[in-house]
Chain A
C-alpha cells in the first residue's frame, strides 16, 4: 500500500467514494493553499503603501490621512488573509472555508472599488496599485484554474461549462470595459499596432512580452474552453497550472530581470510583494471555487473522512473527531454572501461622495472680524510654520512660545466674536500643536472653523493648503498654510438634481504664499472659490495688453508662433475696445466662475476626454487626468457667455504661445483641437500656421456660435451633454 500522492485511477473506486476522495483532495489543497495564501496576504501589510521619490511610505504612516472608506481599501487584503486564517482554523468543513475565501476576496474587491472611488474625492487618493481594477483578470485566471480541476472530476464536469463561461465573461469584462480611460484591450492593440514603428528588435520583443503578460488572463480564459471538449486526464491539469502559476511566473520573470541587472530598489520589493499577492489570490480563489462547486455536487464530500481535518490529525485523533457536521454548503455559501453584502453595504454607506453646495447666509462683518481672519490668523499660521521649521533644525522652544502666544490671542479674539467659532479655533490651535500633523487632519480642523463661521453667518472663509516638499536630510516635509478670504457672495446652482456652489471672495492679509490664483476648487471641498481681486487684476492685464495691441508680454517659446502675434494683438485690442473695462471684468468673472464650477461638477471620476486619450497617449495618468479636467473646465467656462468665450480664447492662446508643453498648454491645445475638430500638433510639434489659422477662425465666429461650439465640443469629448448649471437661491 503506497501513500505516495499519485493520482488515483477513477474507475477503480466506486463513484461515491471516488467523488469523496476527489473532494478530499480538493479540500486538502484548499486548506494548504489557504494557509500560505493567508500568510502572504497578511504580509502584504508590510509592503510600502506607495513609494514617493524612492522613499517607501507604509500604510500606518498614512493611516491618519485616509478616510474611513479608504481604510477599508487599504487594509482589505490583510484583513482577508486574517479572516481566511481564522476560518481555516475553526471551520469543520471545506465548503465553509471555500465560502469564507470567496466572501473575503469578494469583499476585498468591493472595498477597494468603493474605497478608491471615495478616496479620489479626498486629499489623499489611493495609489494606483490599490485603485486599479485587477479583480476581473484575477477572477478569470482563478475560474480557469478551477475549471481544470473540476473538469477532471466526473461528478463536476457538468458545472465546468458554467465555470468556463464565467471565466470568459470575467476576462471580457476586464479587457473590454473602458472605465475612465480606454478599454485595456485597445491599449494593448494600440501598442501592438505601433510595433513596426519601434526603433529596433529589442523594443519590439519588449512590447511583445508586455503584450503577452497583459493578455495572459484573456488567453488562459479562452484556453479553458478546451476542457469542455477534452477533460483533463490528470488531477493537476496544464490549464490549472498555467492559470495559477503562469501569470505570477511571468511577473516574477520581470522582477528577476531587474535583479540581474542590479536595478534593485524599494519599488522592486513592492513589485515582488505584489507578485506574491497575485499568486496567493489566484491560488486560493481557484481552490475555493473548485471546492464550492464540488460541495454542491458531492453529497457527502465534506463529511467524508478524506475531506475532513482527520486527514491532518491521523492516529488516535480519529476517535476524537468533533461531533456535528458543521454548516452545510448552502448555509455557508448563503452566510458568506450575506457577509459580503454586509461589508459592501457598509462600505457603500461610508463611501458616498462628499456633499456639495452650501447654504451659507452672510451677515455684515462685525468689528474685529477682518483683523481676526486677516491678521491674527495669518500671524498664527506664520508662527506655526516658523516653529515647525525651527524645531526640526536648531530648536523651536522660542518659536513654540511665540506660537502659543499667537494661538491664545487668536482663540480669544475668535471667542469674542462667536463662542462656536472660538471653540473651533481653539481646537485648530490645540490640535495642530503636533509635529506629525497630517494634511487631512489639518483640513478637517480648518473645515471646522469654516463650519463655525457659516453657522455664525460670518462672511469669512479660511482655505487650508498643504504643500509637500523634500528637504535634504529630512525627507518629505509638509508646510501648512491658511489663507483667509472675505466672502462677498455665494452663488448656488442646481446641476442634474444636485446642488453646487461657488463663493466670490476677496483675500485678507498681505501674504499670498503661492495662492495667487483666479479661483480654485478641490474635490473634497463643498464649493469652489473665485478670487475677485485676482479676476479684476487679470482683466486689467488684458486691458493693458489690449491697449498695447499685444497678445502676451511673456517670452514666446516656439519662435514660429511669432508670426501670428501681431494679428492676435489686434484682435485683442478690438475686443477690449468693444467690451470696455466693465465688460471685460464681467467676462473674466463669468468664465472663471463657470470654470471652477465645472471642476466641482466633474469631480475626480471624469472620464478622460477623447482628444486626451489620443493626444496624450504615453503620458502619465496624473498628467492626462489633469489636462482632461482643465480642458473640461475651460470648455465649460467658454459657455458662460459670448464675451467669456472670447476672452477664454485669448487666455488659452496665451498658454499655447508661452509654453505648449505645460499642463495648461496641453489643455489649451486639446480645447482648440476640440473646438476646431482638427489637429494643430503634428508629429509631436505645434504647427504654428495651423494653430493661428484655427485661432482666427474661432475668433471670427459670433458669440452665440462660439458658445454653441464649446458646448458641442464638450459633449464630443466627454461623451455626454455638458451639464447645465441653473442658479437658484438669489
Chain B
C-alpha cells in the first residue's frame, strides 16, 4: 500500500483560526512542484472497455437465451382443442409423443408445464408459441374426430379420425414442412374414454411419421453430419430408429412386391389370371357387379414399434369397396368389424352385412347403391350369420343364434323395416333341447328360398339306438303367411349336405354332399325335384347366372364344369391356394380368392381377389 505525500517546505505561516486555517490551507498551500504530483490518469478507457465487454457478453447471453434450441420440439396437436385448453385427448397424445421423442434424443417442450400452457393459451398460432418457447420444430395439427354414437344399451361411442399432421421448422415458411397422414379409431362406453383410446392409438403413429420428418430436415441433417459429439450421441437413438424403420419397412414392401411379381409371372395357362389387388392385403370377395368386384377388406399398414423395433400393424377400419378393373375404389361402408361375409344382390345393390359393434351388439345393415347405410336390426344378444340377400333386394335370409354356442335358427328378415318374414327353428333354445338344424340356403327367386334342414332328433325310447335323421331340401315361400316349406328332396341316410347355391333364375341348385366318401357336388332341379350326382369331389360350388355351368374349388385350384357339355375345364393350375369361386354378374368371368402366407406375419394369410375368363 503506497501513500502519496506532498512534501511541504517552509510552510511556517501561522493560521489565524481553525476555519481560516482550513480555508487558508485550501487556497494558499501549493506544492512546490506540481510535477511531483501524480498525474490524473483517465479512467474512461477502462470503463469503455468494460462497457464494451459487458455489452458483448450481454449480447451473447441474450442471443444464447433467445435462439431456438435445435432439437427442441413443440407438440401442439389439437384434438377437439389443445391440451392447454383442457382437451384430454390432446393431452394424452402430447404426453405420449413427448415421451417417445425424448427417448430418441429430441427435447420436447414439456406438456403440462404451466409456463408452456400459458404461452400456448396466449399465442395466436403454435408457431408463435414455439418462438417464445425456443422450440425449433413444431408438430401441429387440428384433428376433428368423427363421433358416432351407437344405439346400444348403456351407450357406446365410436370415434374416427383421418387427417394429417404438420411437422416443420420455425421459419421454413411452408418449404421443408411435411404433412404426413395419420388416422386411427377407437370405441368405448363414453365419449371421453373413446377419445382417450383414440389419442393413445395416434401417439405411436404420430411418432412413426414425425421422427423421419424431423431427421430429414436439413438443419438436423447438418447436425448429424457435424462434429458435435454430444449432439451426435444424443440423436443416435433417433437415427437408429429411423434407419431400422426404413430397413424394416423396405423389407416388408419388397416381400409383398415379390409375391406380386411371382404371381404376375405365372404362365397364362390354363387361363391368364388377373389380380384385383396387391398381396399384403386381406381382401374377401363379396360379389361382383357393373362397377367391378365388391371387396371386403381391412387396410393394414406396417409400422415399427419405437420401443422394441418390432414390426407391428396398424389396422384401419374394415371397409367394403367396389374395386374397378383399373384399381379405383369406391367405398361403400367402413366400420369396426363385420361378422362373416357380406351379401350383395345380383344387380350389385343392395349390400347386406352383419356389423359387430365393438362386441356390444350385432346389426343387420343394408347399404343402398348410393352408399347410405341403414341398420334394420340391432341386437345386443343375438348373432346374425351368413346373410344372403334376395334377388330383388327386399329381404335377407340368415342364421340367427341366441348365443355364440347356441344352435341356429333360420330367419328371413325384411330389409325395409327389419320385420321377421319367416322364423324357423330354435329362436329361444333351451339347454339340452333337441332342435332342428340347418345347412345352407339359397334364393330361387324373390320369394322362395331353398333350405337344407335336418329335423330334430325324436326322443329316444329306452333301449332304442339313436339313428341319424336324414336331411331334406325344402323350399320356403316367404310370401305366404305363415311361410310354407315345400319339401323338394329327402337326402340319404348318413348324407350331409351343405354349400347350397342357386342359379339366378332358380332353375337349378347345387350343393355339396358327403355320404362318408368325401364331399361331392350334386345338382338339383327344384321344379322336378330331381337330383343329379356329378361325382365331382370339390368344395364351394357356385352356379353360373344361367345355370349352365358351375365353378368350384378342387385341390386348391379353381375349375369349371359344363352342366350340359359335362366338360371339366380347369381355370387355374398353380402352386398357390385359390378358393371361393363365383361367377361375375354376366357369367363372363370367374372371381376367386388367391391366398398366400404373409411373408411379414407368420400368423396371417394374405388374400387377393383374382379372376379369369370363364369362356362362357
Contact = CB atoms under 8 A, between A and B. Distances in A.
Interface of A: 1, 3, 5, 8, 17, 21, 24-25, 28-29, 32, 299-300, 303-306, 311-318, 321, 325, 387, 390-401, 404, 433-435
A373 B168 CA distance: 48
Contacts of A394: 95-96, 98-99, 102
Given A1-B36, A397-B92, 19 more contacts: A3-B36, A24-B5, A28-B1, A32-B1, A300-B18, A306-B6, A311-B5, A312-B4, A313-B40, A318-B30, A321-B26, A387-B112, A390-B112, A394-B98, A394-B99, A395-B98, A395-B99, A397-B94, A434-B114
A392 B99 CA distance: 11
24 contacts: A1-B7, A3-B36, A5-B3, A17-B8, A25-B3, A28-B3, A32-B1, A303-B25, A305-B25, A306-B5, A306-B6, A314-B40, A315-B34, A315-B38, A316-B40, A393-B99, A394-B95, A394-B96, A395-B98, A395-B110, A396-B113, A398-B83, A398-B112, A400-B114
Contacts of A25: 3
Interface in B1-38: 1-8, 18, 21-22, 25-26, 29-30, 33-34, 36-38
Nearest to B90: A397
A395 B112 contact: yes
Interface in B33-77: 33-34, 36-40
B101 to A, nearest CB: 10
B40 A397 contact: no
Nearest to A325: B22
A536 B101 CA distance: 52
Contacts of B108: 395
Contacts of B114: 400, 433-435
B323 to A, nearest CB: 42
Nearest to B9: A1
B111 interface: yes
Given A395-B99, A404-B86, A29 B1 contact: yes
Given A29-B1, A395-B112, A314 B39 contact: yes
A397 B112 contact: yes
Given A313-B40, A315-B37, A325-B22, A5 B2 contact: yes
B44 to A, nearest CB: 16
B442 interface: no
B22 A303 contact: yes
Interface of B: 1-8, 18, 21-22, 25-26, 29-30, 33-34, 36-40, 83-84, 86-88, 90-92, 94-96, 98-99, 102, 108, 110-114, 117
Nearest to B35: A315
A401 B89 CA distance: 11
A1 B21 CA distance: 26
A638 B30 CA distance: 84
A584 B2 CA distance: 81
Report which residue of A32, A313, A398 has the largest number of chain B beta carbons within 10 angstroms of its beta carbon: A398
Contacts of B8: 17
In the A-B complex, the 10 residue pairs with the closest CB atoms: A396-B112, A394-B99, A395-B95, A397-B91, A397-B111, A395-B98, A398-B91, A397-B83, A400-B112, A397-B112
B2 to A, nearest CB: 4
Report which residue of A5, A305, A404 has the largest number of chain B beta carbons within 10 angstroms of its beta carbon: A305
A311 B25 contact: no
B3 A397 contact: no
B95 A398 contact: yes
Contacts of A3: 4-5, 36
A654 to B, nearest CB: 46
B4 A314 contact: yes
Given A313-B40, A315-B34, A401 B86 contact: yes
B196 to A, nearest CB: 9
A304 B5 contact: no
Contacts of A305: 6, 25, 29
A300 B111 contact: no
Contacts of A400: 83, 91, 112, 114, 117
A623 B40 CA distance: 60
B41 to A, nearest CB: 10
B4 A401 contact: no
Nearest to B41: A314
A541 B331 CA distance: 74
Contacts of B91: 397-398, 400-401
Given A397-B83, A401-B88, A390 B95 contact: yes
A593 to B, nearest CB: 42
Nearest to B11: A17
A21 B83 contact: no
A311 B4 contact: yes
Contacts of B113: 391, 396, 435
A305 B5 CA distance: 9
Report which residue of A3, A8, A304, A321 has the largest number of chain B beta carbons within 10 angstroms of its beta carbon: A3
Contacts of B88: 398, 401
A395 B5 contact: no
A399 B18 contact: no
Report which residue of B4, B36, B94 has the largest number of chain A beta carbons within 10 angstroms of its beta carbon: B4
Contacts of A311: 3-5
Nearest to B82: A397
B39 A315 contact: yes
Contacts of B86: 401, 404
A391 B112 contact: yes
Given A3-B5, A317-B40, A396 B25 contact: no
A396 B4 CA distance: 67
A305 B94 CA distance: 74
A511 to B, nearest CB: 23
A3 B90 CA distance: 80
Nearest to B37: A314
A59 B88 CA distance: 39
A21 B4 contact: no
B171 to A, nearest CB: 25
A305 B23 CA distance: 11
Nearest to A396: B112
Nearest to A399: B112
Nearest to B113: A391
Given A3-B36, A305-B25, A401-B83, A396 B5 contact: no
B423 to A, nearest CB: 50
A304 B25 contact: yes
Contact of A300 (B3, B22, B96, B98): B22
A395 B94 contact: yes
Contacts of B112: 387, 390-391, 395-400
A300 B117 CA distance: 68
A3 B4 CA distance: 7
Contacts of A29: 1, 3
B215 to A, nearest CB: 21
Nearest to A393: B99
A321 B108 CA distance: 64
B4 A397 contact: no
Contacts of A318: 30
A8 B83 CA distance: 80
Contacts of B92: 397-398
A200 B113 CA distance: 58
A315 B42 CA distance: 13
Nearest to A400: B112
Contacts of B21: 300
A557 B174 CA distance: 73
Nearest to A8: B5
A304 B2 CA distance: 18
A672 B6 CA distance: 76
Given A28-B4, A314-B4, A396 B26 contact: no
Contacts of B37: 314-315
Contact of B95 (A17, A306, A397): A397
B3 A315 contact: no
B95 A314 contact: no
A215 to B, nearest CB: 29
